[in-house]
């Protein structure tokens, strides 16, 4: 994992990222603190790109793909950061050496995860049902329980919507592509033979999960920031990418902070591990807010149930009792949702307004310092917890302005300029090489 920060105002946009990368072979995990995640996206235009999550795209390092894009497509002009990101995604989709077998392997893991989720919830449902009856009811309709679990998870995927990039691909096409994977995985996960209805419902659920904005463990986050030909102020565009499906790159809706807003206010954006930044700038991290909402819902249910038990009539029909329970549960959820979706968001907005106003007025050096500090604070917080060190290493920092373009502020090197004058001759020219040599003296 990682943490990446973008600080944007009218003068420019500062980008900062740590250098930690987690490598895993399934059984063992190793963390290195030397990964490159921040790059120039164009050799001539003021735009940069950051990568988080998986540092490979189907077997090809993102660094190689980004630099190939920079050499082949980076000199063409685009109107804003969104168009730069869209052009990059099209380039990735047609990149010739992407390993399709790795893409299928990643999808296999996603199918396994969905099936295991269904199985775990199904077993929990059996235990819950047997606990309520006091014993394991042999006449219990196991098929109905499994279909109920599948339906519940399916509704979750419905709430996530379909990945925008797959809008012209049908569920039947996806099902046909991965039918072989389905036939391999499902018998391994479910010990008994599923009925036709169960099997079809499970296939439909897996297909919906693959096409939804639920992403696998092998997905990557892409952040593009800078200026386009129509830009007076900088903008930021981000997306999450998760392999290929039917020769199409699967990615989320592109999130864009329009450059016109930068004229009114400054903003801080955090990516990957965002909790520390959100806690500092927004007053509380998302986990705290969610747990508070859970506490509110449980407390309301307990209080309402106690009141209802105290004042209920002695004789109550079973149907009326179920209705009362449903009303209490619905009211508790409504109160928790009100806090989660409205009250907490309004409070967060009030707390961040002052930060945004100050950021809007900051000189260039200050937004640089703020971006670097937020990465460093996150790294320090991770060291003080039981975290394995998923944020750490040198902090790379760049500033992008409209006229000076992409400028490195801090950058780790794996080679010494004194020992590699030929690198500068190849990359630039003898005069530039001499200046670079003197700069590192």
The tokens describing 210, both together, are 């693959």
Nearest-angstrom CA–CA distance, 290 and 361: 33
Nearest-angstrom CA–CA distance, 347 and 361: 23
Q: Which CATH class is domain 1-282+355-410?
A: alpha beta
Q: Which residues contact 384 (CB under 8 A, 6 or more apart)?
A: none
What mean pLDDT do residues 224-243 have?
93
Nearest-angstrom CA–CA distance, 285 and 282: 7
pLDDT higher than threshold 60 for residue 341: yes
Residue 399 φ then ψ, to 5° = -120, 135
Cβ atoms within 10 A of the Cβ of 161, count? 12
Which is nearest to 234 in space by CA: 242, 226, 222?
226
Write out pLDDT tens, residues 371-391.
999 999 999 988 888 777 788
- Can you give the three-state secondary structure of 56-69, one letter per residue? EECCEEHHHHHHHH
What mean pLDDT do residues 108-133 have?
84
Q: Which residues contact 166 (CB under 8 A, 6 or more apart)?
A: 174, 211, 245, 248, 250
pLDDT at residue 314, as a whole number: 67
59-73, 306-320, 391-405: the lowest-pLDDT one? 306-320
Which is nearest to 177 in space by CA: 286, 103, 269, 74?
103
Nearest-angstrom CA–CA distance, 34 and 71: 24
pLDDT higher than threshold 60 for residue 436: no
Map residue 293 onto helix, strand or coil: helix
Q: Does 139 or 432 have the greater pLDDT score?
A: 432
Cα–Cα distance list, 294 to 157, 304, 401 (Å): 21, 15, 44
Q: Give residue 234's pLDDT band: very low, low, confident or very high (50, 70, 90).
A: very high
41-45, 48-52, 73-77, 132-136: the lowest-pLDDT one? 132-136
Q: What global pTM score does this model have?
A: 0.82
The residue to which tokens 């859970």 are assigned: 294
38-52, 169-183, 360-374: the lowest-pLDDT one? 169-183
Query: Is the CB of residue 389 less than 8 Å from the CB of residue 383?
Result: yes
Nearest-angstrom CA–CA distance, 42 and 90: 16
- In which residue ranges of the chain is CATH 3.60.20.10 found? 1-282+355-410
The tokens describing 393, both together, are 């290493």
pLDDT at residue 292, as a whole number: 87
Q: Does 265 or 23 have the greater pLDDT score?
A: 23
Q: Give residue 344's pLDDT band: very low, low, confident or very high (50, 70, 90).
A: confident
Q: Does 376 or 257 have the greater pLDDT score?
A: 376
Q: Does 148 or 285 have the greater pLDDT score?
A: 148
Q: Taking all residues of the chain, what is their mean pLDDT, rounded to a whole number? A: 86
pLDDT at residue 401, as a whole number: 97
Nearest-angstrom CA–CA distance, 254 and 275: 21
pLDDT at residue 430, as a whole number: 60
The tokens describing 88, both together, are 């990059």
The residue to which tokens 């006091």 are assigned: 134
pLDDT at residue 133, as a whole number: 60
What are the strands of the beta sheet with 267-272, ordered from one edge? 267-272, 3-8, 13-17, 396-401, 405-410
Write out pLDDT tens, residues 301-339.
888 878 777 766 666 676 766 777 788 888 888 888 888
DSSP per-residue string spanning 156-206: HHHHH-B-GGGTTS-HHHHHHHTHHHHHHHHHHH-SSPPPHHHHHHHHHHH
Q: Give residue 135's pLDDT band: very low, low, confident or very high (50, 70, 90).
A: low
pLDDT at residue 139, as a whole number: 43
pLDDT higher than threshold 70 for residue 51: yes
């Amino acid at each position: 994992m990682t943490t990446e920060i973008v600080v944007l105002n009218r003068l420019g946009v500062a980008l900062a990222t740590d250098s930690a990368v987690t490598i895993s072979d399934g059984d063992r995990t190793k963390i290195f603190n030397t990964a490159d995640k921040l790059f120039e996206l164009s050799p001539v235009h003021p735009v940069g790109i950051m990568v988080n999550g998986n540092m490979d795209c189907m077997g090809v390092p993102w660094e190689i793909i980004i630099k190939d894009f920079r050499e082949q497509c980076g000199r063409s002009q685009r109107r804003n950061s969104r168009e730069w990101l869209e052009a990059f995604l099209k380039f990735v989709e047609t990149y010739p050496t992407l390993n399709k077998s790795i893409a299928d392997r990643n999808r296999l893991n996603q199918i396994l995860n969905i099936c295991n989720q269904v199985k775990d919830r199904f077993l929990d449902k059996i235990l819950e049902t047997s606990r309520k009856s006091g014993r394991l009811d042999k006449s219990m309709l196991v098929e109905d329980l499994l279909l109920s679990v599948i339906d519940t998870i399916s509704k979750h995927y419905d709430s996530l919507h379909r990945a925008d990039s797959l809008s012209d691909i049908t569920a039947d096409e996806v099902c046909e592509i991965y039918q072989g994977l389905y036939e391999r995985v499902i018998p391994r996960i479910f010990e008994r033979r599923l009925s036709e209805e169960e099997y079809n419902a499970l296939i439909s659920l897996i297909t919906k999960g693959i096409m939804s904005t639920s992403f696998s463990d092998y997905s990557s986050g892409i952040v593009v920031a800078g200026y386009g030909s129509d830009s007076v102020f900088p903008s930021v565009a981000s997306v999450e990418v998760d392999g290929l499906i039917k020769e199409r790159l699967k990615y989320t809706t592109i999130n864009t902070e329009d450059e016109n807003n930068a004229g009114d206010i400054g903003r801080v954006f955090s990516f990957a591990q965002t909790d520390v930044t959100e806690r500092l700038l927004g007053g509380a991290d998302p986990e705290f807010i969610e747990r508070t909402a859970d506490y509110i819902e449980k407390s309301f249910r307990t209080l309402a149930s106690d009141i209802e038990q105290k004042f209920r009539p002695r004789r109550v029909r079973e149907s009326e009792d179920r209705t009362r329970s449903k009303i209490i549960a619905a009211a508790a959820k409504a109160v928790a949702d009100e806090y989660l979706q409205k009250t907490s968001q309004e409070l967060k907005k009030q707390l961040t307004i002052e930060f945004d106003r100050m950021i809007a007025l900051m000189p260039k050096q200050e937004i640089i310092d703020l971006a670097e500090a937020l990465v460093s604070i996150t790294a320090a917080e991770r060291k003080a917890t039981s975290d394995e060190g998923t944020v750490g290493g040198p902090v790379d920092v760049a500033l992008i302005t409209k006229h000076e373009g992409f400028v490195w502020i801090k950058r780790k090197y794996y080679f010494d300029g004194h020992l590699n004058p030929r690198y500068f001759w190849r990359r630039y020219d003898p005069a530039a090489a001499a200046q670079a040599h003197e700069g590192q003296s």
